[in-house]
Chains A and B, each alone.
Chain A
Amino acid sequence: SAVISQKPSRDICQRGTSLTIQCQVDSQVTMMFWYRQQPGQSLTLIATANQGSEATYESGFVIDKFPISRPNLTFSTLTVSNMSPEDSSIYLCSVEEASRETQYFGPGTRLLVL
Chain B
Amino acid sequence: AQSVTQPDIHITVSEGASLELRCNYSYGATPYLFWYVQSPGQGLQLLLKYFSGDTLVQGIKGFEAEFKRSQSSFNLRKPSVHWSDAAEYFCAVGRGATNKLIFGTGTLLAVQP
Q: Does A105 contact B98, Cβ atoms closer than 8 Å? A: no
10 A/B residue pairs, CB under 8 Å, sorted by A: A1-B46, A43-B44, A96-B99, A101-B32, A101-B51, A102-B49, A102-B99, A104-B46, A105-B36, A107-B42
With contact pairs A42-B90, A42-B106, A43-B90 given, residues A103 and B101 touching in the complex (Cβ less than 8 Å): yes
Residues of A with C-beta under 8 A to B41: 110
Contacts of A41 in B (CB 8 A): 105
Say how far B30's CB is from chain A's closest CB, in angstroms.
13
Give A residues with C-beta under 8 Å from B.
1, 4, 31, 33, 41-45, 48, 92, 94, 96, 101-108, 110
Bound Cα distance from A96 to B49, whole angstroms: 14
With a cutoff of 8 Å between Cβ atoms, the chain B residues found around residue A104 in the complex are: 46
A108 to B36, CA, bound (A): 14
Contact A45 B100 (CB under 8 A): yes
Contact with A along B23-54 (1 / 0, CB 8 A): 00000000010101000011111100101000
- Separation in Å of the A74 CB from the closest CB of chain B? 18
Which residues of A lie under 8 Å from residue B106 when comparing CB positions? 42
